[in-house]
Amino acid sequence: MEITVGRKREKQNIRARRTRARIRTHTETPRLSVFRSGKHIYAQIIDDRAGKTLVSAHDIVSTKGKKEIKKPLEAAALVGTVIAKRAAEKNIKKVAFDRGGYKYHGRVKALAEAARKGGLQF
């Protein structure tokens, strides 16, 4: 049985909704949400109670002018470092990690580990 692209995205959305439902009901901390496209990775810290984005980062701006970063894992780690730095500037220390239906593997894992190394707790 072959899964088409539409069905695959639908299953990912179901996983993402399930994860977000657990995060929203069990924590009062902001949520570190990750979006991963084919070429880029984005992260934002969201306050669900107010419905506002507090901090955001992505690899398009973060890696601009840095020619030595060519690999997606390195770019994801840089985004994790940048989001942790920006969160520290806004006195955000603890967040709930929302992987957005993606597996905790590869670029998502690299971003999370770099954010932890940068000082975020989750």
**Domains in the chain with CATH codes:** 5-117 (3.30.420.100)
Return the pLDDT at 84. 97
Give mean pLDDT, residues 11-32: 82
Return the pLDDT at 2. 56
- Four-CA torsion 62, 49, 25, 98, nearest 10 degrees: -10
Confidence of residue 4 (pLDDT cuts 50, 70, 90): low
Return the pLDDT at 121. 94
Give every strand in the sheet of 31-36, ordered side by side.
Answer: 52-58, 41-47, 31-36, 96-98
State pLDDT tens for residues 27-66.
Answer: 788 999 999 999 999 999 999 888 899 999 998 876 666 6
Give mean pLDDT, residues 8-23: 84
How many Cβ atoms sit within 10 Å of the Cβ of residue 83?
28
Return the pLDDT at 69. 67
Distance from C-alpha of 106 to C-alpha of 102, rounded to nearest angstrom: 10
pTM (two decimals): 0.82
